[in-house]
Amino acid sequence: MPLFLSAALLCLLGSCSSASMTPARSDRSASERIVMPADFGGTVTIRQGDVLVVRPPMTAAEWQVAYDESFLEFQGSADSLAHPDSKGWTFHAIRSGETSLTVTPVMRGGPNPPRFSVSIHIDA
């Protein structure tokens, strides 16, 4: 068998095998769920692959955000996590299960700041 034919056959077989290894994609497009200030203290339900947008529950220059990175992937920089714009924080739901997210304004020299938490149920 000529060398170029062998190489072509190997390339073809490699293409076929890698195509079969590609994970199947869902036909469902990702949805966006906006967490409004009224949602804090409750539970929101989303699906794996969805986008979760969390609006700041009050005006503050700086925030601390606590969430489980094994469930939610933040879509932004470390600076935008501490200093979100008016749209808030955007996360991608990467795993199904139960988790929570808490945002706390940074307030120096005053009373303890309020904590805003929301429980998140992520369906597969």
Check pLDDT > 70 for residue 52.
yes
pTM reported for the whole predicted model: 0.76
Q: What is the mean pLDDT of residues 54-65?
A: 96
User: Picking from 9-18, 40-49, 108-117, which range would have the lowest pLDDT averaged per residue?
Assistant: 9-18
Q: pLDDT-derived band of residue 10, with 50, 70 and 90 as boundaries?
A: very low
Pairing assessment for the beta strands 72-74 and 89-93 based on DSSP bridges: antiparallel
The residue with greater pLDDT, 26 or 68, is 68
Is a pLDDT exceeding 80 seen at residue 5? no
Residue boundaries of the structural domains of the chain: 28-123
Q: What is the CATH number of domain 28-123?
A: 2.60.40.2020
Question: Could you give the CA distance from residue 70 to residue 61 in angstroms, rounded to a whole number?
Answer: 27
Q: What is the per-residue DSSP string for 33-94?
A: EEE-GGGTTSEEEEETT-EEEE--SS--S-EEEEE-TTTEEE-S-HHHHHS-BTTBEEEEE-
The whole-chain average pLDDT of the chain stands at 84
- Work out the average pLDDT over 65-80: 97
